[in-house]
Structure 1
Amino acid sequence: MRIVQLANAYSPTSGGLRTVVDALGRGYVAAGHDRVLVIPGKRHTREEGESGLVVTFPGVPVSGGYRVIPRFAPVRELLEELKPDTVEVSDKATLAAAGPWARENGVGAVLISHERLDAVTAARFPHAWRTGNRLLRPALHRRSRNLAEGYDAIVVASAFAGQEFDGTSAPLCEIPLGVDLDLFRPRPAAREAGPDAGSDVGPDVGSDAGVGASVGTGAGAGERAGVHLVYSGRLSVEKNPIAAVAAVKALIAAGLPVHLDVYGTGSQRHHLERAAAGLPIAFHGHLADRAELAARIAEADVVLAPGPAETFGLSVLEAMACGTPVITADTGGAGELLAPHAGLAAASNGPAFAGAVAQVMEWPEAERRAAARLRAEEFPWSRTIASMLALHDRLPGDRGPLATGTGTRSGPG
C-alpha cells in the first residue's frame, strides 16, 4: 500500500506534529508499505531515505518559524503522479484540499486532527474569544464540520479533540498517540536523597497572594535547589508557558525552594524572560537531542504542561514515560492521560499549578515515578501504528468497508 503523508508546519522545531508524522511514517515503512512524505521547505526537493520518499515544496514562512505550502496545485500534480492508495493529511489549511481530491480520484483519505480550531483560537486570542465567541464558535464548528465531510475518516487522539467534529457525517476514529518507551525512560537509579517538600508548603501555596512576588536567586542550570520543575514545549501564547513562571513565583512566596528549566523556543520567549527576571528559571532554547531532553526530564521532580487546548499531550506522555509526574491544565485532552499518582490536572494559572506541585510532592517519590511510567507503558507507538494501518486498509476503495472506532482508547486510570 502506498500512503502519502501531507503535513504543513513541519520543521525541526515543530514538536508534536513532526513526532507523530515521523513515528507513523517509520512504522508504515517497517510494516512493508510505501510511504511518501510531503512537507514545506525553503525550496523544491525530492529525496529518497530510509523512511521513504520525502518531497518538499517551497513554503511561505509563518509565525513560530514554520512554513506553509501556499497552493495545493503543485501537490495535486504530485499526487496524480504518485497514484497513492491513501492520503493522510496533518493540516487544516492549504493541504486539506487533498481530501476532496482523493474522493474524486477513488483514493482513501484520512485527516489527523492535531489541534481544535475553537480551543486554539480561544487560547491564542482570549480577548477576541471572550467578546465574540457567540459568533466565532458556530463559525469555527461549521468550518470543522465542512472540512471533515471531505474525508473518509477523521482521526482524533482524545475525547476532547473529537468534540470539534460533533455532528459531522465523516467517521470519527479515536486513536491515542504513542511514546518511544526506549528513548523516554526513567533515570537508571533513584537519587540517594530527594527533596521532602510536602511539609515545607504552607496552606497558602495556592492563593493569589503568592503570584507576583519577585523572589528568587536567579539560579541557572546546575544550581538547582529544592523541587526541580521542567517545562518542555513551544513558547507561544496558546501553550500558556507564563503559567509555569507564575507557578514558580507562587511556590517561592509559599516558602518552597524550586528551580524551573524551560526547553523550547517561540514568540513568547523574550516576554517570558522578562517575567522570570530574578527567579530561579533557566531558558535553554530548543534542545534538538531528544535523548538529552529525555534524560533531563527524567531528572525532574515534576513537569508542567499548562497548555489549555491540548488535543492529546505528547509532552505529557513523554514525561510520564521518564517516570516524572505531570501537572496539566484541567481543560483540553492532556488530562485524559493521567492516572492516580501520575500527576494532576489544575486550572491553568500559577497559583493552581503551584498548589498541584505541592500536592504531588507529598506523594512518595518511588510511588509517583512508578505510577507515571506504568501509565505511559499503555501507549506504545506500535499500538498507534497498528491502529492507523488498520484504518488505512479499510478506507473506501477495493480494501473493504470502513469501520469506525479504529483502535481502542485507554482513559484515565
Structure 2
Amino acid sequence: MHSVVAFTDTYLPTVNGVTYTVESWRDRWRARGGRMDVVYPDSNDYDPEDGEYPIRSLPFPFYDGFRFGLPRVPRTVRDVDIVHAHTPFALGLGGLRLARREDLPFVVSYHTPSSEYASYLTSRERFESGIERLSESYERWFLGHAAAVAVPSEATKRDLRRRIGDDVPIRVVPNGVDVDRFRPVDATAFRERHGLTDSETLVGYTGRHGHEKRLSDIVDAVDGLDATVVFGGDGPAREHLEAKARKRGIDARFLGFLDREELPAFYSSLDAFLFPSPVETQGLVALEANACGTPVVGVDCGALSDTIEEGVTGYHYDLGDTAGFRAAIERTFAEADELKRRCLDRRESMSVEHAVDRLAEMYDAISAEA
C-alpha cells in the first residue's frame, strides 16, 4: 500500500463534505494497511491524532469554517510516495511544493470550483466576474501540475475537461458514503426532539446554507403542498430563507447544525430530500439520503444530473422551473415505497469502500507511470 500525505484547507472540527471525505478515506486506507497523513489548518479546537499535522492558520473572514493555512510542509512529514491535495489554495500549494521538492506524484481532488467562492468576496457583479476569471486561470495553472485530477462524478469530469483541456488525466473517484452509519433508522426520537409529529409529511435539506445553492427554490416549490420543510445546517442564506418562509406562510423548521450522529435519523424522517443546488461536484448529502432509503428531488444540473437516477433514487426538475420542482416532489410522494426500495438496492455501489477501491486504482496507475 502507498504512503500518502493529504493537504486540505478544511478539516476537523469543521464538518463538511471535504472533511468527511478526507477523514473517511484516511481511515479506510489505514485499515487496508496503508498510510495517509493529513496536513490541515490549525483551529486550536481539535487535538491531532498520529499522522495529523496542523499548520498555523488565520480565519478567513468571507467564508465561515474556512481557515487560511500557510503553504508550509511540516518537517515531520517524510517518506511518502504520493502527495494528494484536496484544495488548490494555501495548503494545496504546500503539497505542490513538497511534490516538486521530492519529485513525487502529485494528485488533486477537485471538490468545488474555485470560482464559486467569488460571491463571498464581493457583491459587485463586475468585480465578481473578474474574480471568477482570475480563479479559473489560477485553477488551470494549479491543476496543470497534477499527475491526475480526481473528480467525484462523470458530470464534473465533463465540465472540468471542457475548462482545462486534455493535458491532465481526470479520473472519477466518488467520495463515497459510510453505509454502516447511513442506513434506515427509527426516527421517532429525532422527530420528538425537534417537535415534529409522526403524522407530518416532511421534506428537507441539510448542509451549508449558501446563496449559490438556491435553497429559496425549496420555499417556492413547497408553497401549496401539505408538507413541513425541515432545514438542517446553517450559513449566510439562512436569514433570507427564514424571512421568505415567514412571508409565504410556509411551515419551515430550522434546526441549525446537526451532529453527524443525528443525520441518519434526519434523513430517515424525511419523505423526500430536496436539493436545488446547481453547483455540486457530486452532492454527497444526496447519496447519504439515498443510503437511508430517502429519495431525492434535485435540479437536473451539474453533478446532480448523474447522482440522482431518474425514477430510481429520485426525480429531477429543470433549473428555475418551480412548477416542475413541485410536480417532482408530488411524484416522489406517490412512489415513495418503490423509490425507497430502489435506493436501498444501491447502497453498496455508493459505499466508501467502493470509492477507496477507485482511489487505490488511481494511485497504482500514477505510481506505475512515475
Which category describes the TM-score, using the shorter chain as reference length?
Answer: 0.7 to 0.9
2:70 — aligned with what? 71
Cα RMSD (Å): 2.9
Q: Are 1:90 and 2:64 an aligned pair? A: no
2:232 — aligned with what? 263
Deviation at 1:189, TM superposition (A): 11
Unaligned runs of 5+ in 2: 189-193
TM-superposition CA deviations, 1:129-157 (whole Å, max 9, x none): 8x986x77765443332111111110001
C-alpha spacing 1:106/1:117, structure 2 compared with 1 (3 Å): same
2:251 — aligned with what? 280
1:154 — aligned with what? 149
> More deviation in 306-315 or 367-376?
367-376
1:197 — aligned with what? none
Query: Contact conserved, 2:55 with 2:70, CA < 8 A, in 1?
Result: no
* Pairs within 5 Å for 1:394-409: 394-395=365-366, 399-401=367-369
Structure ranking higher on relative contact order (CA contacts 8 Å, 6+ apart): 1
Within the candidate set 244, 249, 266, 2:218 is matched to 244
Q: Are 1:360 and 2:359 an aligned pair? A: no
2:38 — aligned with what? 37
Within the candidate set 101, 116, 137, 2:113 is matched to 116
**TM-score (normalizing by structure 1):** 0.77
**TM-score (normalizing by structure 2):** 0.86
> More deviation in 179-188 or 227-236?
179-188
CA distance in 1, matches of 2:168, 2:318: 33
1:293 — aligned with what? 263
CA distance in 2, matches of 1:54, 1:320: 31
2:250 aligns to what SS in structure 1?
coil
Q: Are 1:27 and 2:28 an aligned pair? A: yes
Deviation at 1:89, TM superposition (A): 0.8
C-alpha spacing 1:334/1:124, structure 2 compared with 1 (3 Å): farther
Query: Contact conserved, 2:85 with 2:92, CA < 8 A, in 1?
Result: yes
Deviation at 1:354, TM superposition (A): 1.6
Deviation at 1:123, TM superposition (A): 10
Unaligned runs of 5+ in 1: 191-219, 403-413
Deviation at 1:284, TM superposition (A): 0.7
Q: Larger C-alpha radius of gyration, 1 or 2?
A: 1
Query: Contact conserved, 1:16 with 1:314, CA < 8 A, in 2?
Result: yes
TM-superposition CA deviations, 1:279-327 (whole Å, max 9, x none): 2111111111x23211221121100111110000100000011111101
Deviation at 1:342, TM superposition (A): 1.5
C-alpha spacing 1:128/1:77, structure 2 compared with 1 (3 Å): same
2:138 — aligned with what? 143
CA distance in 1, matches of 2:334, 2:123: 34
Deviation at 1:355, TM superposition (A): 2.0
Q: What is the identity, as a one-letter code, of the residue corresponding to 1:176?
A: P
Identity across the alignment (%): 24
C-alpha spacing 1:247/1:121, structure 2 compared with 1 (3 Å): farther
2:191 — aligned with what? none
2:346 — aligned with what? 375
State the number of aligned residues. Answer: 355
